[in-house]
Amino acid sequence: MPDALPTTAATRRRTPARATAVLAVGLAALAVCVALSLALGTRPVPLPTVVDALLGHDTSRDALAVTGIRLPRTVIGLVVGAALGLAGAVCQGVTRNPLASPTTLGVNAGAALAVVTAIHLLGLTRPAEFLPFALAGAALAAVAVFALARGAGDLDPVRLALSGTVLASVLAAWTSAVLLTSEQTLDEARFWLVGSLASRGLDMLAPVAAPLLAGALLAFFVAPALNALSLGDETAAALGVPVARTRLLGGVAVVLLAASAVAVAGPIAFIGLAAPHLVRAVIGPDHRLLLPGCLIGGPVLLLAADVLGRMLLRPTEIEVGIITAFLGAPLLAVLARKAAR
Amino acid sequence: MSETRPESDVEPADAAAERTKPHRRPSPIGSRPLARPRTSPAALAPNTARSGHATAPVHRVSAIARQRRRVALLALAGLALLAAAMLAGICLGENDLSPARALNALFFGTGDRGDVLLVGRFRTPRVLSAVIAGAGLAVAGAVLQRVARNPLASPDVVGITGGASLGATAAVALGLAAPLTPVAALGGGLCAATVLGLLAVQIDGSQAAPRLKGGISPTRLVLVGLAVQAGLTAAVNLFIVRFPAELASSALHWTTGSLYGRNWNETIIGAVTMTAALTAAFALHRRAAVLDLGDDAAGALGVRPGPARLQLLAVAVVLASLAVALTGPVGFVALAVPHLVHRLAGPPTPGTLALNALAGALLLLTADLVAQHALPLDGLPVGVVTATLGAPFLLALMARQNRPDPRTAR
């Protein structure tokens, strides 16, 4: 594969010492977030009990809250955060667009609409059954947004983001329409629909394991080609990278990853937008480093937002999707400011 | 109708434009003054109307007279269509009534008691709400697009209606009395407009004066508006999750835009407040016309551009918020109607502003009739229909933004 790093600054950053330091800091941040997610919650549990519960020495109610609720929640947060972060990074690489993410391209909204429709028409209740519908909806939305943005010419970053957001708003309107026709569907879907990590068992991860793994492998497979793609389509083609195939495979990876995340946790906004930017600011634009970095950065952001949501309105909690939307909206505004001509 | 009003407030403005910038018309594309972006239909309008006839004042006068006739004709056609749509609105439903029966029940209260209840209690408030909200949204869009000099700046695209719907949701959540809902919507709309203004001004770069300049790229404003919208949606979602299911459903109504279940109380409050706001919009029309000439020319004509712009923006926000308080954030109307009216009736005058109100009412009412009767889905909110129509329209407008507009390449 051609080594197609656009800047020398990024190359300089990749000294072994720095790479080790960055990795150490990232893992430390992740460890802190995991620890906080295990230690903090709406139910106050003393720290020694948390440790005892995790080691399996304690079976009190407090300990059950840790092992039965917080541990699965943290694991799911790790998986979903990694999936969303990775999907966002591939999105931005494939479209060469700093505003791209599963949220801004309408992929999440497509998955959500398909799932809500399925809940309404087929009476699904278990998130394990959501997956095929989420996949179909996400794929359709991805195809639609590219068709919309393509229809008018080349893939201008702002145009693509606008097409995606406009599409997402239409899909959201149709989701509301489905919800409004049935109070029962609304009651079942509303907690899932805002995006939440709460009250989900680890067994929920089993059905999405395969698509998640496939998506991640695809993403890493196209990572070197994404570097070439960042130089522009023509240069990438001159370097021997199959542009169309890279886009297609990247798109498939995004759909697999985002749809799996949505099926488990609902359409959590903006993690896919924020994580790649955070990681890129630290380790530079090389996708071979960026994608693994997002595996750490995504969960860090998601778990931090989740812990924040648990602590803000104690004793009730705010769903993590609402927290990320609040924090992500200004980020989108700032990025829009930078990206537009 | 106001299309018969004298248009003296526009003509001196045009004349002033002739005086102050006689050298600008023949200028090539590259040297177009930045203060008047070519993308604004409002700024563009007088030029296109004038371009061919500028050296012959006689032709100009006849052009204005022609436009006046045209506006009057369009208004008549619009009124007829609106009357027909209103009649359809009170006749159609689960039980279709003949027009005679419906009108009898409405005006004389005679005939079947069920008819009277159906028409008087349920259908008429719904129809009137659609008319009031549609008129308000369209005029709000027209004023906003003109003042912001941005063809994409409509209250639903930039997040003002989202803010208003958040305010209304909060009012419902806190159990406030019905008359307070419009007030809360107004507060939310103003807050969203302020946030947007701050973000947009910041985006504008190092502008020292905090005001909306013409320099904001239209698509950028839309993107910032969509970001504001995303944050607002999150806030409304918070309410939806917190509510019990039956309240959540009514909160969801506020995020989609629906005419379902309007009652007389809300309709009358809406009618009174909207009439006042529309009057203010018409009263301020002269200032909008002067602002079109650019800040320097406006100052020379004795209009201080800063306060005038702020007043017009405030009126637009009030109009949009009142409409939202009645129907929820119905999209598309405020974005599309000003463009359609501009295409049909030409450059903005008080007459075309009235046409905007008429067309907005007609569009919202028709969309509601389509949602209720023409589509196979039951109980589809009108906001879904307009959102679906609005998205391709918005994308097409943006596509035109990025192409050089043939009308400006003069």
The reply to whether residue B249 touches residue A191, judged by beta carbons under 8 angstroms, is no
Q: What is the pTM of this model?
A: 0.76
Is the pLDDT at B204 greater than 50? The verdict is no
The reply to whether residue A191 touches residue B395, judged by beta carbons under 8 angstroms, is no
Per-residue confidence at A242, pLDDT binned at 50, 70, 90?
confident
What is the ipTM score, two decimals?
A: 0.72
Residue B27, number of CB atoms within 10 A of its CB: 12
**Within a domain: residue B409?**
no
- Residue B177 burial (10 A CB sphere; 0-12, 13-18, 19+): exposed
Q: What is the pLDDT of residue A297?
A: 92
Is the pLDDT at A156 greater than 70? The verdict is no
Which site among B220, B246, B258, B382 would you substitute to test the A interface, given the most A Cβ atoms closer than 10 Å to its Cβ? B220
Among chain A residues, CA nearest to B398: A159
Instruction: Quick: pLDDT tens for B335-363.
Output: 889 988 988 888 888 888 999 999 999 99
How much is the average pLDDT of A266-284? 88
**Within a domain: residue B410?**
no
Cα angle A228, A233, A234 (rounded to 5 degrees) comes to 100
**Within a domain: residue B31?**
no
Q: What is the CATH number of the domain that holds B385?
A: 1.10.3470.10
Q: What is the pLDDT of residue A198?
A: 81
What residues make up the domain containing B107?
A: 2-24+37-402
The domains of chain A are located at 8-339
Q: Which residues of A touch B229 (CB under 8 A)?
A: 169
Instruction: Quick: pLDDT tens for A22-75.
Output: 889 999 999 999 999 888 887 778 888 888 888 877 777 778 778 888 888 999
**Within a domain: residue B393?**
yes
Is the pLDDT at B6 greater than 70? The verdict is no
The reply to whether residue B256 touches residue A177, judged by beta carbons under 8 angstroms, is yes
Instruction: Quick: pLDDT tens for A218-237.
Output: 999 999 899 888 888 888 88
Cβ atoms of residues B313 and B147 within 8 Å? yes
Number of domains in chain B: 1
Q: Which residues of A touch B216 (CB under 8 A)?
A: none
Gyration radius of chain A's alpha carbons: 20
How much is the average pLDDT of B261-289? 87
Q: Which residues of B touch A163 (CB under 8 A)?
A: 395
The reply to whether residue B377 touches residue A319, judged by beta carbons under 8 angstroms, is no
Instruction: Quick: pLDDT tens for A109-151.
Output: 899 899 988 888 887 777 778 888 999 999 999 888 887 776 5
Is the pLDDT at B275 greater than 60? The verdict is yes
Q: Any CB–CB contact under 8 A between B268 and chain A?
A: no
For chain B, percent of residues with pLDDT exceeding 70: 76
Please give the interface size between A and B, counted as residue pairs whose CB atoms are below 8 Å apart: 144
Q: Which residues of A touch B202 (CB under 8 A)?
A: 337
Task: Spell out the residues 6+ positions from residue A227 whose beta carbon is closer than 8 angstroms to its own.
Answer: A3, A4, A5, A6, A285, A286, A287, A288
Among chain B residues, CA nearest to A149: B395
CATH number listed for the domain at residues A8-339? 1.10.3470.10
Q: Any CB–CB contact under 8 A between B219 and chain A?
A: yes
Among chain A residues, CA nearest to B378: A181
The reply to whether residue A325 touches residue B249, judged by beta carbons under 8 angstroms, is no
Alpha-helical regions (H) of A96-204: 107-122, 131-151, 157-181, 183-193
**Mean pLDDT of all residues in chain B?**
75
The single-letter DSSP state of residue A334 is H
Specify which of A163-172, B43-52, B272-281 reaches the highest per-range mean pLDDT: B272-281
Q: Which residues of A touch B377 (CB under 8 A)?
A: 177, 181
Q: Any CB–CB contact under 8 A between B222 and chain A?
A: yes
Q: What is the pLDDT of residue A12?
A: 52
Per-residue confidence at B24, pLDDT binned at 50, 70, 90?
very low
Q: Which residues of B touch A148 (CB under 8 A)?
A: 395
Instruction: Quick: pLDDT tens for A6-18.
Output: 444 545 555 677 7
